[in-house]
Amino acid sequence: MSETSDEYWMRHALQLARRAREQGEVPVGAVLVQGDKVIGEGWNRPIGQHDPTAHAEMMALREGGKALENYRLLDTTLYVTLEPCIMCAGAIVHSRIGRLVFGARDEKTGAAGSLVDILGHPGMNHQVKVEQGVLAEECAAMLSDFFRMRREQKRAQRQAQRAAEQGATPGSAA
């Protein structure tokens, strides 16, 4: 089975999402491509950066602007593992990228049709071509695995804490 270039770049975005996971951040990755060249990369890291805007897409767009020395990122495609939120959808419109390709949908906060459709709003002065569902299962699995792991860690922490509390109760050591 031959891989399309969309799948190729989505795999690259998944690699970046793994970096977020290694840093304890919700694993979302984004790569900005012009022609066949990477001009921006990002992974989600609001916690580590103390920055509520440090989403994968924002980081990739910022890098892309520096690479092109232009605030308009014309003729570029942004690949992101998860449907962008309202903030990122706004930044995507401002940046004038040509195409957005995302993997998994985000029913809770997605701004490309799930919660709201910022990108498809007919009043928008810039229309971005949107494609979704590229490697969707892998992109979604990365997130659900992460949240499951985090729940298990929290449960283990609670158990360890309970055990420590019981151990500290006078008389229980006998």
Q: Given the rule CB under 5 A, which residues bind Zn ion?
A: 55, 85, 87-88
Q: Which two tokens stand for residue 1?
A: 């089975």
Q: Which of 57, 83, 131, 165 is catalytic?
A: 57
Q: Is 57 a catalytic residue?
A: yes
DSSP 8-class letter at 101:
E
Distance in Å, CB of 168 to Zn ion, minimum: 44
Nearer to Zn ion, 37 or 108 (CB): 108
- Are residues 92 and 40 in contact, defined by beta-carbon separation less than 8 angstroms? no
- CA atoms of 96 and 74, how far apart (whole Å): 6
- CA atoms of 79 and 87, how far apart (whole Å): 16
Residues annotated as binding site?
55, 85, 88
Distance in Å, CB of 22 to Zn ion, minimum: 20
Nearer to Zn ion, 14 or 26 (CB): 26
Rg from Cα positions in the chain: 20
Residues annotated as binding site for Zn(2+)?
55, 85, 88
- Active-site positions read 57
